[in-house]
Amino acid sequence: MTRRALVLGGGGITGIAWEWGMLAGLARAGVDLTGADLVVGTSAGSVVGAQVASGLDVERCYATQLEPSNGEVAAALGPATILRYALAQFGPGGPQGTRARLGRLALRTATMPEAERVAVIESRLPVQTWPDRPLLVTAVDAGSGAFATFDRDAGVPLARAVAASCAVPGVWPPVTIDGRRYVDGGMRSGANADLAAGYDRVVVLAPLPRGLGRMTPAATQVEALRARSRVELVSPDRGALRAIGRNVLDPARRGAAARSGVVQSESVLDRIRSVWK
């Protein structure tokens, strides 16, 4: 029996929109990725992944991305935070040590209250319970830098797991789960595609494929998967990058990012179809 996995990477508000545009465009052309046997979601991809695995209608979710932002304030990684990200790349402990330093950055930074942030994620997720279909949501322990995954057997509310996966250090507060604080799963890799190991056919949608410093690029993980799986990696093309703009946390760019995903889906359709079907 052929098993298929859909991997959805991080990329902020515009990453969510672009992924829904890709999924909608492909579905319209007869390639429906939402029927995957496994969904892996990292950061923005955890939002989309929770909705996909729960069986929500693709067109309805895409249409939501086209709605006006209604004055929703854009967050951003300011110059000081970017500098602290760069400095975190230097020090002992390898990649996990880097993640721990980024976690400490998150723990020290004053942001909105954790409860308020979790409530925002709850409001953006039309579903509040874990789906029956396998869904993996990634995060990083802010204290140790250890990589973590949450699924329906972890005993964690879905919205809290997603909020943890989306907790960009220095922008959003770490999220408490079982007494530990967690930050963005994208601090390990933009997509964490290696979690799809063992599946026969894998499609990876990675709005931010490279990451920073010691973060493992999605392409590196995809190449390793190709030893045993048919895999296709898609990231925003030039047109999509123009639509997304420089700030992936700007809700005003959401509609343009979503439309660019639909447009780009036409150029990757044959590649995706050959892997998926």
Q: Respond yes or no: is residue 43 known to be catalytic.
A: yes
Residue 175's φ and ψ, nearest 5 degrees, are -110, 135
Only one residue has tokens 């046997």, namely 37
Only one residue has tokens 């390793």, namely 224
The two three-digit tokens of residue 179, written as one number: 């007494």
The one catalytic residue in 43, 165, 189, 229 is 43
The number of angstroms, rounded, from the C-alpha of 191 to the middle of its chain's C-alpha atoms is 7
Q: What is the DSSP string of 143-197?
A: TT--EEEE-GGG---HHHHHHHHT--TTTS--EEETTEEEEEGGGTBSS-GGGGT
Rounded-to-integer distance, Cα 36 and Cα 32, Å: 9
The one catalytic residue in 46, 165, 184, 250 is 184
Q: Respond yes or no: is residue 260 known to be catalytic.
A: no
Q: What is the DSSP letter of 75?
A: P
Rounded-to-integer distance, Cα 186 and Cα 42, Å: 6
The two three-digit tokens of residue 207, written as one number: 């709005």
The two three-digit tokens of residue 30, written as one number: 């007869």
Q: Is the dihedral of CA 267, 193, 109, 111 positive or negative?
A: positive
Residue numbers annotated as active site:
43, 184
